[in-house]
């Protein structure tokens, strides 16, 4: 129960941060990338603030603790490969982000106030994850021979 309350509060800080930063506002996100048009450089400050805070915070956490409070270990991604899967996936994500103006972390905190736009985006995004996952599962697990 403590872990659930803690996780909910940490999610709340995340959602509030995203919402006031402008990351949940497609008009602002698209303007950040529109250097040739109505450029709004605000998101540099989001990325800068988030990166410096997280970098210092991680140093503090990893320096002070051998394990997290509610788990036996830190779950850090073990995959170090910079391969075509990573690059093609990231490029694809960029194309979708450029079309819609929402990224996953920007969309979820907007679900409570963003109306049908963010619901349509998020629904389609979940379908995209499900499709990619099932296609990936088929590719990784070839049909059993008779």
Partner 1 sequence: METEFTPWMSLAGGVLIGISATLLMAMNGRIAGMTGILTGIIPPISTDWPWRIAFLLGAVIAPVLFLAAGGAIPYAVPVSLPLLALGGLIVGIGVYYGAGCTSGHGVCGMARLSPRSIAATVTFMIFTGLTVYVVRHIVGI
State which H helix or E strand residue 14 sits in.
helix 2-21
Closest CA to 30 of 90, 94, 97, 89: 97
Q: In this chain, which of 63, 109, 142, 144 binds partner 1, going by CB under 8 A? A: 109
Residue 140 binding partner 1, by CB under 8 A = no
139 or 145, CB closer to partner 1? Answer: 139
Return the number of other C-beta atoms located less than 10 Å from residue 146's C-beta: 3
Q: How far apart are the first and last CA of the chain?
A: 48
Binding mask 48-67 for partner 1 (x = CB under 8 A): xxxxxxxxxxx-xx---x-x
Binding mask 5-44 for partner 1 (x = CB under 8 A): xxxxxxxxxxxxxxxxxxxxxxxx-xx-xxxxxx-xxxxx
Q: Quick check: helix, strand or coil at residue 79?
A: coil
Residue 138 binding partner 1, by CB under 8 A = no
Taking the complex as a whole, the smallest distance from the CB of residue 142 to partner 1 amounts, in Å, to 19
Binding mask 69-108 for partner 1 (x = CB under 8 A): xxx-xxxxx-xxxx--xxxxxxxxxxxxxxxxxxxxxxxx
92 — alpha (psi -120 to 50), left (phi > 0) or beta? alpha
């Amino acid at each position: 129960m403590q872990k659930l309350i803690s996780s909910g509060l940490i999610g709340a800080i995340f959602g509030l941060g995203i919402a006031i930063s402008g990351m949940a506002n497609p008009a602002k996100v698209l303007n950040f990338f529109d250097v040739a048009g109505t450029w709004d450089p605000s998101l540099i400050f989001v990325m800068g603030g988030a990166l410096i805070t997280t970098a210092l915070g991680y140093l503090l956490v990893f320096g002070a603790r051998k394990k997290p409070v509610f788990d036996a270990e830190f779950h850090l991604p073990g995959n170090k490969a910079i391969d075509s899967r990573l690059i093609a996936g990231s490029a694809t994500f960029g194309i979708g982000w450029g079309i819609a103006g929402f990224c996953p972390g920007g969309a979820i905190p907007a679900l409570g106030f963003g109306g049908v736009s963010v619901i349509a985006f998020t629904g389609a995004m979940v379908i995209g994850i499900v499709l990619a996952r099932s296609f990936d599962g088929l590719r990784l697990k070839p049909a059993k021979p008779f």
